[in-house]
């Protein structure tokens, strides 16, 4: 495809909007990480990070650090360069919220971990960036390819904790809106690469692997829906049925209790009277 600067920039910025700020939208479901309003904002409002996988967040934080370094070294369009940096920022914010709300860490401890992660991010980012530049300058294609594919592997690994939860719960908690944002961000970013001077196949792997894994989530969501296990409605119906069964069980136990025996009480009183008479006669 011929180089088109305007199209390259337009699709890069579209990818930035869809792919970078999807961690800022988040909704109100039980698994808060995957709905409509901002994850960070919703966590702040609810004072809770229920449903947020910190393992996934760390994978995404590291993956975007690696891809950001590759994007800088490979001189991709500016929108594609700042995209992983913004995504990593929101990921870090969510990591700190997990420690603050779920682990009840102090403000000093939480901020200290945030500072350490920022320093590690900056140091590793610069290190991988310079290593990538040297590999490009020395025409070491093997190293260039490895450093370009590594972010895709790390980001993809972050999906597998979510796959495990989905299989375990027989339900996909990611909202349709979130998945749509993720897919569109990957698609637009890939199209942006197509309008560059040369199509960067290595860079496209990171975007396309995310699109592929999102499609897997869509297929799982449809499968669980057909089976009748998808969504909060199914879980609430299970909760209602278990509550009603507990209530019926309690009622049956109460109804099966034997009636109070007044005959036994009368026998005890007669026995006491007989004993009293015998003591008087003696």
DSSP 98-159: IIIIIS---HHHHHHHHHHHHHHHHHHHHHHHHHHHHHHHTT-HHHHHHHHHHHHHHHHHTT
Whole-number pLDDT of residue 149: 94
Whole-number pLDDT of residue 118: 96
Buried b / exposed e over 230-248, threshold 16 CB at 10 Å, is: beeebeeeeeeeeeeeeee
User: In terms of Cα–Cα distance, which of 101, 113, 208 is closest to 156?
Assistant: 208
Cα radius of gyration (the chain):
31
Please give the Cα distance from 21 to 37 (Å, whole number): 10
Whether 164 contacts 69, CB under 8 Å: no
Q: Helix axis angle, 54-73 relative to 201-227, nearest 10°?
A: 150
User: What are phi and psi for residue 267, nearest 5 degrees?
Assistant: -60, -40
Whole-number pLDDT of residue 106: 93
Whole-number pLDDT of residue 215: 94
224 CB-near residues (< 8 Å, 6+ apart): 166, 170, 171, 172, 230
Question: What's the count of helices (H) and strands (E) in the chain, helices before strands?
Answer: 11, 0
Which two three-digit tokens encode residue 137? Answer: 């300058």
Whether 186 contacts 19, CB under 8 Å: yes
For residue 177, the Cα-to-chain-centroid distance in whole angstroms is 14
Which two three-digit tokens encode residue 74? Answer: 């490979």
Q: Mean pLDDT for each consecutive 10-residue tract of the chain (282 residues)?
A: 85 84 48 44 59 82 95 91 89 88 90 97 96 93 92 92 86 79 90 91 92 93 90 55 54 52 52 61 54
Whether 94 contacts 40, CB under 8 Å: yes
Q: Which residue do the tokens 């197509």 mark?
A: 194
The model's pTM is: 0.72
- Tell the burial category of 124 from Cβ atoms under 10 Å away from its Cβ (0-12, 13-18, 19+): middle
Please give the Cα distance from 138 to 210 (Å, whole number): 30
């Amino acid at each position: 495809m011929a180089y088109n600067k305007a199209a390259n920039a337009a699709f890069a910025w579209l990818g930035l909007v869809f792919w970078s700020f999807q961690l800022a939208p988040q909704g109100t479901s039980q698994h808060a990480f995957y709905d409509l309003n901002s994850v960070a904002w919703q966590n702040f409002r609810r004072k809770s990070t229920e449903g947020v996988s910190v393992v996934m967040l760390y994978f995404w934080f590291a993956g975007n650090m690696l891809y950001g370094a590759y994007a800088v070294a490979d001189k991709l369009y500016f929108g594609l360069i700042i995209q992983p940096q913004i995504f990593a920022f929101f990921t870090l914010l969510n990591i700190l919220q997990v420690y603050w709300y779920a682990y009840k860490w102090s403000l000093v401890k939480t901020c200290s971990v945030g500072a350490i992660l920022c320093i590690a991010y900056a140091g590793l980012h610069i290190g991988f960036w310079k290593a990538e530049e040297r590999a490009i300058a020395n025409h070491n294609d093997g190293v260039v390819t490895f450093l370009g594919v590594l972010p895709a592997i790390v980001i993809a690994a972050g999906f597998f904790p979510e796959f495990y939860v989905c299989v375990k719960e027989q339900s996909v908690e990611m909202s349709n809106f979130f998945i749509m944002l993720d897919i569109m961000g990957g698609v637009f970013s890939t199209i942006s690469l197509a309008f560059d001077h040369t199509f960067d196949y290595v860079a496209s792997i990171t975007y396309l692997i995310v699109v592929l894994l999102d499609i897997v989530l869509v297929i799982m969501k449809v499968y669980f829906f057909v089976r009748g296990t998808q969504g909060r409605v199914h879980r609430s119906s299970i909760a209602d049925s278990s509550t009603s069964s507990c209530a019926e069980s309690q009622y049956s136990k109460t109804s099966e209790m034997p009636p109070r025996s007044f005959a036994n009480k009368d026998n005890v009183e007669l026995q006491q009277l007989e004993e009293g008479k015998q003591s008087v006669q003696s």
